[in-house]
Amino acid sequence: MRQGIFSGVMSLTGTPFFLTTIVLTVVAVVLPLVLWSRVRGPSAVRGATRLVMVVFAQAAAVLTVFVAVNNSNGLYDSWSDLLGTGNHIVAAPDLGQDGLGGKNLANEPASHEVFSDVHDARMGHGVKVAQVTGPVSKVKGEVYVWLPPQYGRPAYRHHKFPVVELLGGFPGSAKAWFGSLNVNAQLAPRMKRGEIAPFILVEPRTNLLNRQDTGCANVPGVVNAESWLSVDVRKAVTDNFRAASGAKGWAVAGYSAGAHCAVKLALAHPDRYHAGVGLSGYNDPGAEHVSITAKDPHLRQVNNPLWIMKHAKTPPRVALFLSGGRHDGYLDGLALQRAAKSPTSVQVVAVTGPHTTGLWRRQVVGVFEWLTSELAPYPGRTAPAKGI
């Protein structure tokens, strides 16, 4: 128990830590009120003591506001994420154009990951997590999984469920879709009523480098983020859960930098994903100036979803849903829509609102109604998908 409390206090997103900052702020404000006139000693000492109390009160208030904003928007999970001291790269070999490094996954042994229950009220009920080291990408990080209500029912014991891989922004927590967007809490009752397909929801770590956005790319010697997300995370899920293995049963969705990644992954790997969702995303990696793909002209070009679409040997059999404000994803979405050729399909929707989790939270249900209509049929559906 002591270890659990301690880890909660040390975690940036833990409720105990947030409560600690509130208590600290209250103490920091009350302290000068009580001690201001009681400070003794020479005038220089009194002045310095009072200055320390004022600075302490301001620092405590700033920390509390930062933690509140961080928790609301799912920015950083831990101090190591904030300070850039985490180590999530075991190695970064050159894996080739397909990102497989010459491996045939059908011949690779199954992974046996230990997924344990997450006890975090902000993430809702039923979320599990495992620490995964990707055998192909050599990336290590947490992978959160939520199973739909139907997963444990006898009628579904032989059913393989469709999967949606969820990507946060940058900086971004691997808990954001569950914690800030309340994706599982919003979808569970609709899945029970048969309005939305019983998807397995998967949210992997995307914050892998020290204060740099990976752009979800493979860069030999630096990081293999693309293979981590599109190969290793998929394998960890299909090896350990009754999850669909073919592209028709998989989608990838993201917001902000995660939207850029989701669209790029779907277009680059139609053999792995049938659908992609981008909320307030962008095409040009240069939109995120700390992205490693924005610093190199070649990487910037080949990791642009619009370039990928235009230079595909054959139009990818992928369905895309894109939303955003006029200068926050909408125009980039229209560019993709104009360039798309059958069987690629692109739906673009204009939305209004600030670039925050509140805007994306409101779109969750509509997005999953659209995904329900795009992915493989499933048993027990009682209502048609409404779309967006």
Q: For the chain, give the percent of residues with pLDDT over 70.
A: 86
Determine which of 82-91, 298-307, 356-365 has the lowest per-residue pLDDT on average.
82-91
Q: Which residue pairs, CB below 8 angstroms and at least 24 apart, start in 131-134? A: 132/204, 132/232, 132/233, 132/236, 133/90, 134/224, 134/227, 134/228, 134/231, 134/232, 134/233, 134/236
Q: Rounded to two decimals, what is the model's pTM?
A: 0.80
Position 380 pLDDT exceeds 80: no
User: CA distances (Å), 181 to each of 253, 345, 367, in order?
Assistant: 13, 26, 12
Which residues, including other chains, have CB under 8 Å from residue 285's CB and lie 6 or more apart?
A: 215, 260, 291, 293, 294, 299, 300, 303, 304
Position 17 scores a pLDDT of 65
Position 334 pLDDT exceeds 60: yes
Position 155 pLDDT exceeds 90: yes
Position 211 scores a pLDDT of 85
Closest CA to 309 of 284, 340, 279, 335: 340
What pLDDT band is residue 383 in, cutting at 50, 70 and 90?
Answer: very low
Position 235 scores a pLDDT of 97
Q: Is 13 helix (H, G, I), strand (E, B) or coil?
A: coil
Mean pLDDT for all residues in the chain: 87
Q: Are 160 and 242 in contact (CB under 8 A)?
A: yes
Mean pLDDT on 203-207: 97
Q: Are 190 and 196 in contact (CB under 8 A)?
A: yes
More confident residue, 124 or 318: 318
What pLDDT band is residue 382 in, cutting at 50, 70 and 90?
Answer: very low
